[in-house]
A = this chain, B = another copy of it.
Amino acid sequence: MEINGVEIEDTFAEAFPIKISRVLITAATKRWAEIAALEATGFGTSVIMCPAEAGIEKFVGPDETPDGRPGVYIQICTFGYESLEHQLLERLGQCVLTAPTTAVFNGMPEAEKQFNVGFKLKFFGDGMESETEVDGRKMFSIPIMEGDFLVEENIGAVAGIAGGNFFIFGDSQMTALTAAEVAVEAIKDLDGTITPFPGGIVASGSKAGFNNYKFMKATANEKFCPSIRDKVEGTEIPEGVKAVYELVINGVDEDAIQKAMKAGIEAAIAVPGVSKITAGNYGGKLGKYQFHLKDLC
């Protein structure tokens, strides 16, 4: 398939189950909400060696939040619910409770699974905390040095999906990078997904396992590495391609991932010099979910 002269390979992204919590952080301004969100979702690109995968889902205006202030939805993802609760406690307790002007609301009040993270964080108040209500939600108010920190009693979680993805091929590194950036921006306008890597972008996509170093769980995906194109049998790099970036997308359900992949790909191919879009999979052997590019565009 070809769109605007860009080849869309007939392949699919292979993705996996993961547990996802969604948290709404509000603050005095959008900028302070973002600062808290960046700290809380940092060191959160891949569960290979990070304690969680995490990222900003989207920003919301004051008319869309329980306390009438600007807000940002973040997602935190781990393989199991137990580790997820730990990550919520640590990341919200250390990176949002400590951040200027923030409050924390349940981003998934409808979910069956609920962690009483707010209940646990209230003990920081050392007996001076109290219960209150904001827009019908049960909150704890904890006196702190800047004033009072408000946190909702529960934070919900669902079984979601990790590893939605696509690859962008460009005629220069900066072409492919700009396309990746604009794809991340487009996805940030949507509900339900995050792109957990730095700036939403993967510069060094990996393959599971190794060719040479037996002690490695994941190594460079050499078939997609332009600088060694001439040395790799079966290289996937067409002539003239100088760089490849991958977007990895986690989301609450298949529909969210699909919409994000579609929006991201459409934005990416508007950048002149992008020549091809493909996606990463394991031949369907490992992942439970398949997102076929031809179904999206």
Residues of A within 8 A of B (CB): 28-30, 32, 35-36, 38-46, 48-51, 61-63, 67-70, 89-91, 93-102, 123-128, 142-149, 167, 170-178, 180-182, 185-186, 189, 197-199, 201-206, 210-213, 215-216, 218-222, 224-228, 231-232, 242-246, 263, 266-267, 270-273
User: Please, which residues of chain B bring their CB within 8 A of the CB of A124?
Assistant: 204, 206, 216, 218-220
| Cβ-neighbour of A70 out of B128, B173, B185, B231 (below 8 A) | B185
User: Please, which residues of chain B bring their CB within 8 A of the CB of A100?
Assistant: 177, 180, 198-199, 201, 203, 245
- Interface pairs (12), CB distance under 8 Å: A28-B182, A32-B199, A39-B197, A41-B42, A41-B43, A42-B43, A124-B216, A124-B219, A126-B210, A145-B202, A147-B242, A149-B204
A274 smallest CB distance to B (angstroms): 10
User: Please, which residues of chain B bring their CB within 8 A of the CB of A243?
Assistant: 145-147
Q: A45-B95, A128-B228, A203-B98 given as contacts; is B145 within 8 A of A272 (CB)? A: no
A263 smallest CB distance to B (angstroms): 7
B127 & A212 in contact (Cβ 8 Å cutoff):
yes
Copies of this chain in its oligomeric complex: 4
B198 & A39 in contact (Cβ 8 Å cutoff):
yes
B63 & A204 in contact (Cβ 8 Å cutoff):
no
User: Please, which residues of chain B bring their CB within 8 A of the CB of A95?
Assistant: 42-43, 45, 50, 198
A52 smallest CB distance to B (angstroms): 8
A63 & B199 in contact (Cβ 8 Å cutoff):
no
A230 smallest CB distance to B (angstroms): 11
